[in-house]
Amino acid sequence: MAPLLEAQGVIVLDGGLATELEARGEVLDDELWSAKVLQEHPEVVRQVHLDYLRAGADCVVSASYQATFEGFARQGLTGRQTESLLRRSVSLALEAREAFWVENRDPGRLRPLVAASVGPYGAFLADGSEYTGDYGLDRDRLREFHRRRLEVLADSGADLLACETIPSIAEAHALCDLLGSADGTPAWLTFSCRDGERISDGTPFVEAVEVALACPRVIAVGVNCTAPGLVSGLLASLGKIPKPLVVYPNSGERWDAVGKRWTGAELAVDPVALCSDWRALGAEVLGGCCRTGPARIAAMRARLLSPATS
């Protein structure tokens, strides 16, 4: 991240992968969610990555959020097949980056990054518990769940790992246990939050961030897939921290895990309208999550990198 931050002061992330796939006609009414498209229509995943890069993203996140050994085993896949799909999720993003770099060899822009998504245990459950952290699993069992996938993705060729939408302090500890020392592929760790002070399981955001900051391999920390209106309070609660702050909220709408649909359209907030405020509060890595598409990422880049705000 350092060269990008030094060159332009901010890193623009992509937006929601799964909801953009839905917008293009893919049916995600399945417990594998975007990982289903990874299996069936990988060329569409590659195209979405490319479109986010064309929109101005400095980093795209792989389609591995809901791709797990346990989830694919339910579909009859072997461990070797699952490992191949995990690596494929990253290679699709790398291929998109290469295609973008060939067509946009801009001397004023640095090569974009590829982050391998490491979703929470709740993403495997596909019951909305990534927004509650109510798993019934302790730190040891969560560590075992994440171990093998984390090892594969760390060896996939991605520039870094995106440990994202983490709802519980136990899961944060488990991931930091596995990440261990500063050796290996670096990671960011971002939390889903229930309000302007606490992550989804009720732990104070400040306490959760301290866990991430204590892990040498975690190079950035923050919040994602959280309503935009909560972000400023969360950032303000931290003060200045020694690692970059990452922010990529959802639209503010709510995911109905039973009905497999988004509700509360009246709650939607355009993150572009708030991104300058988040930047002023110390955020250096900004983008969008669910319900944020390429057009909004383009607008966010224009807002954040305009002469008036840079």
The mean pLDDT value of the chain amounts to 91
Write the pLDDT tens digit of every residue in 244-263.
Answer: 999 999 986 676 666 666 66
Q: Compute φ and ψ for 18, nearest 5 degrees.
A: -65, -45
Q: How far apart are CA 191 and CA 175, in angstroms?
A: 12
Q: Where are the domains of the chain?
A: 2-304
Write the pLDDT tens digit of every residue in 262-294.
Answer: 666 555 678 898 999 999 999 999 999 988 999
Burial of 262 (0-12, 13-18, 19+ CB in 10 A): middle
Contact 85, 35 (CB under 8 A): yes
The yes-or-no verdict on residue 26 having pLDDT over 90 is no
Burial of 101 (0-12, 13-18, 19+ CB in 10 A): middle
Mean pLDDT value across residues 55-73: 95
CATH superfamily of domain region 2-304 = Homocysteine-binding-like domain (3.20.20.330)
DSSP-derived pairing of the beta strands 261-263 and 254-256 = antiparallel
pTM: 0.93
Contact 254, 236 (CB under 8 A): no
Please indicate whether residue 192 or residue 22 has the higher confidence score (pLDDT): 192
Q: How far apart are CA 98 and CA 96, in angstroms?
A: 5
Write the pLDDT tens digit of every residue in 117-173.
Answer: 999 999 999 888 999 999 989 999 999 999 999 999 999 999 999 999 999 999 999
The yes-or-no verdict on residue 309 having pLDDT over 60 is no
The yes-or-no verdict on residue 310 having pLDDT over 60 is no
Quote the percentage of the chain above a pLDDT of 70.
Answer: 91
Q: How far apart are CA 157 and CA 57, in angstroms?
A: 19
Least confident of 60-64, 84-88, 178-182: 178-182
Task: Give residue 88's pLDDT band: very low, low, confident or very high (50, 70, 90).
Answer: very high
Angle separating helix axes 169-179 and 205-213, nearest 10 degrees: 10
Q: How far apart are CA 215 and CA 213, in angstroms?
A: 5
